[in-house]
Chain A
Amino acid sequence: MTTAPIDMALSELRALVTKAARGAGLGWGHAEEAGWAAEWLARHGLPAADWATLWLARCVAGGEGPVTIGAALADRLAPEGGPLPQDALPDYLPAPGYLLPFLHLIARARGAIAIRAGGIAVATVDPDGGVTFGPGWAQASAGWSIAPATEPPTTDAPTTTRALVSASVIDCLDGLALRTTVPPSDASRRNAGAASSDND
């Protein structure tokens, strides 16, 4: 039996991915960028929550995900542009779509940027935030690099204001988010509420 997807507000999705990223081991700074990137992607109608489960699983296992890589690139290149490093991306990278929000920051300074797989452009982001996917996007899984885009993208500006997310994906992210919480103790229960009855 399948259940209907959950209709989420984008701020709700952002908060969930932020907590899940923190639970997966990212620092608070990168975790809030994960949430920001999730909202950016969802606003473009892209499956931000589904992709998050892919790369956060790798982070739990100690690997690096697209948010730390994308953030480091944007730190360096978004303010003033500069050449794109050829070795910016590892050969294997889960959920490379999470690079797009950070590449958008860079594209604003230096023009459209493509994500390539095996030397072929599979996704392009332009300075206005428009995203175009090539036919190889769905099959691409390795050999990643970034390069200046050679063709102008043609997609419309983002308009989506809600995200439909499957219950199983939310469960997965909730599970990671739970790793930011502290189990109950007598002291925590004792200190949490009023010192008097609410039945007055």
Chain B
Amino acid sequence: MTIAERQSPAQDIAPRDPDVVMRLSRMGSAHPMRLSFLRVLLRRIKSEGWRLDRPLWEVDARGVGRAVYRARGPERTYCLVAFAHDLPDEMRSDRVIATAWDATFALVEGEPDAADLDRLAANVPLQEAGRISAKELSLSRANRSVRLFSHVVDSLARGQQPDRAEIDAVGYLMRTTAVYGSGKFGAADRDCIAARPELKAPFQAEMLSVWLTRAFTVDIAEHMARMQGGAQAVRLDRDLRRRLGVGNSTGLGMAPFLVRHPRLLNSWMTARETALARVRALPSADADARATFRQALAEAQENAALWHSDHPAQIRKLAHLRDDLDLVATHVDHVWNPAAPRPWDALWRWGVGTLSEEGQECLLALLLEPHGAVVDDLADTLDADEETGFPLDGSLPLATLRALLARDYGWVRAFDFADPDRSARFWYVSEEKLEPRLGNRHEEEGQHREQPLGIARAIAELRAALDEFGTTGTLAAFLLRHPEHRHSLRRVLMLRGLPYAEIRDNLLDATLLPIDILRCKLAFFGATRFDPRSDRWVRISLFQGQPFPDEIGA
């Protein structure tokens, strides 16, 4: 397929309306898809023939030591340095309040020498209390799933394979908590590495780190089994191994990201929505594409069956999803006419009229699956220049500003901030742990130190100030009298013409579910098995079902 053929079909099918796409309930129904960041990474590693190995393994009988996992691409090499620790159960916590973990990691540029390893050994196990350098691209840690890790080690030590149902019930041997990159704790800045093709798409260094961490989680379990069982021990069956991902446990710390990086959010959403529009515009559905779609649907049904959560909201959504996927299967097998013009568009429009938001967003992911040749190039558009437009244009006429607000922020008028429930929450940073939290404005102290994440309310206040100021004049004159709106004004101007930059919802609302924000971001990472542990804390799995390094390149 030529570039012209690939791009032309979408011209008469518009991407979805941001008023539909950017609502929290729909963002909180997002599914991983071909353009998710871990899929982008694995496609590159495979297509470029990266060589992957483990040049260092120094771990003792207690499971304490260090290891290095090496990924050699066409131009550069990256290494995950892993430190394995002996963590007492009573110290195991996924929260940022933790001070020790089962394992800690850093992704290093090039190959670390002995001095690098010693430097990292003195800092990486400390995580936030340590420092890393411009040579490092990420800093992370992981805790065991105690139950599954023990089951797998004990089984392998006895010479038996672990129970598949136990593996499926948990899905990972370890779960990471924070994975820090982009300058955090001294790591290399994003703009120092963003020009490299392999790191241009978002979070590629972090995804590489987690993927190599997944290999470590199995290696350490097999090592412990050998130490425990000696010659009797066996390695984990490769099919069972594929069923293991890396867990991730995360909370409110991740939520503000999408508000603070609106140009990036716009890039992600635009890429996904453009991909959907391209597929809908395809004139036909050939047999290969139909078979791939049907296979992806079957896998989605299996995934939905294995996907477990105890959270009431997620239980409801899972029930909808399972029903919806059955409906899709029935429709595709018995009703859908793939020979009709634009068959994928017909299927999509049927889904919009029939399925829940959960089902619709899953259908989106399924529609992209057979169409790598049509959509995969959009991975090159997932990044964003987040500095463009930072300086304010003080010469802007206020009439132009009003027109911008009317065009881009009309959605704000849906919220009546005279109602206390519309501003019932406030976002703040805790003094104790420097992590984002969400307070109840009418019950808790601290709103004078509120973080500027209530975009809808801020825009409503800006609009009111403009009404009071008058209709003529320039932005510079308005700012002299109203410096308190400087932050909102920069945002409005920086996001001009970016349809998917704003979450078109009220992040201060009494009914806000922060897990909706988390799910959207995690779906773009490529996360599966979204399992809320509260309204603001979630566990997920990464790389589950994907190949291991020794299956791609050795």
Binding site for B on A (CB under 8 A): 6-12, 15, 27-30, 32-33, 36, 68, 71-72, 74-76, 78-80, 105, 161-162, 178-185, 187-189, 191-196, 198-200
Which residues of chain B are near A74, meaning CB under 8 Å? 391-392, 394
Interface assignment of B395: CB less than 8 Å from any CB of chain A: yes
CA–CA, A196 and B309, complex, Å: 12
CB contacts (< 8 Å) of B435 on chain A: these are 192
Q: Which residues of B contact A178 (CB under 8 A)?
A: 431
Question: What are 29 contact pairs spanning A and B, CB under 8 A?
Answer: A6-B131, A7-B131, A7-B133, A9-B187, A29-B484, A30-B483, A30-B486, A32-B487, A33-B486, A72-B476, A75-B392, A75-B475, A78-B393, A105-B391, A161-B134, A182-B445, A183-B445, A184-B431, A187-B443, A192-B430, A192-B433, A192-B435, A192-B536, A193-B537, A194-B537, A195-B533, A198-B92, A198-B93, A199-B146
Asked if B432 is at the interface (CB within 8 A of a chain A CB), the reply is: yes
Residues of B within 8 A of A196 (CB): 533
B252 at the interface (CB under 8 A from A): yes
Cβ-closest chain A residue relative to B440: A187
What residues of chain B lie closer than 8 Å to A179, measured between beta carbons? Answer: 449
Kindly provide the distance from the CB of B394 to the nearest chain A CB, expressed in whole angstroms. 3
B251 touches A193 (CB 8 A): yes
Known contacts A28-B486, A75-B476, then 17 further A-B pairs from the complex at CB < 8 Å, ordered by chain A residue? A7-B133, A7-B134, A30-B486, A33-B486, A71-B486, A72-B479, A74-B394, A76-B394, A78-B394, A161-B189, A161-B192, A178-B431, A181-B431, A182-B446, A183-B431, A183-B432, A188-B439
User: Which B residues are CB-close (under 8 A) to A72?
Assistant: 476, 479-480
Which residue of the partner chain, among B249, B396, B484, contacts A27 with CB atoms under 8 Å?
B484
Report which B residues bind A (CB closer than 8 A): 89, 92-95, 131, 133-134, 143, 145-147, 182-192, 249, 251-252, 390-396, 428-435, 437-440, 443-446, 449, 452, 475-476, 479-480, 483-490, 533-534, 536-537, 539
Q: Which 7 A-B pairs have the closest CB atoms?
A: A29-B486, A75-B394, A9-B183, A182-B446, A11-B183, A194-B533, A29-B487
- Would you call B486 and A188 a contact (CB within 8 A)? no
Contacts of A68 in B (CB 8 A): 483
Chain B residues whose C-beta falls within 8 Å of the C-beta of A195 in the assembled complex: 533-534, 537
A10-B428 in contact (CB<8A): no
B452 to chain A: closest residue by CB: A28
Kindly state the separation between the CA atoms of A144 and B78 in the bound complex, as whole angstroms. Answer: 50
Would B487 and A28 count as touching, CB distance under 8 A? yes
| Least CB separation from A188: chain B residue | B437
Residue numbers in B under 8 Å from A184 (CB-CB)? 430-432
With a cutoff of 8 Å between Cβ atoms, the chain B residues found around residue A198 in the complex are 92-95, 143, 249
State A8–B94 Cα separation when bound (angstroms).
Answer: 27
Determine the distance from Cα of A36 to Cα of B392 in the docked complex, in whole angstroms. Answer: 13
Q: Say yes or no: B146 contacts A200, CB within 8 Å.
A: yes
Closest A residue by C-beta to B93 = A198
Are the C-beta atoms of B534 and A194 separated by less than 8 Å?
yes
Docked Cα-Cα span, A78 to B389, in Å, equals 13
Q: Are A182 and B186 in contact (CB under 8 A)?
A: no
Task: Select B393's contact among A29, A79, A182, beta carbons within 8 Å.
Answer: A79
How far is it, in angstroms, between the C-alpha of A185 and the C-alpha of B483 when the chains are bound?
32
Closest-CB distance, B400 to chain A (whole angstroms): 13
A76 to B191, CA, bound (A): 30
Contact A182 B428 (CB under 8 A): yes
A181 to nearest B CB, angstroms?
4
Residues of B within 8 A of A75 (CB): 392, 394, 475-476, 479-480
Task: Say which residue of B92, B437, B480 sits within 8 Å of A191 (CB atoms).
Answer: B437
Query: Is the CB–CB distance between A187 and B394 below 8 Å?
Result: no
A24 to chain B, nearest CB (A): 13
Complex-state Cα separation, A6 to B134, whole angstroms: 12
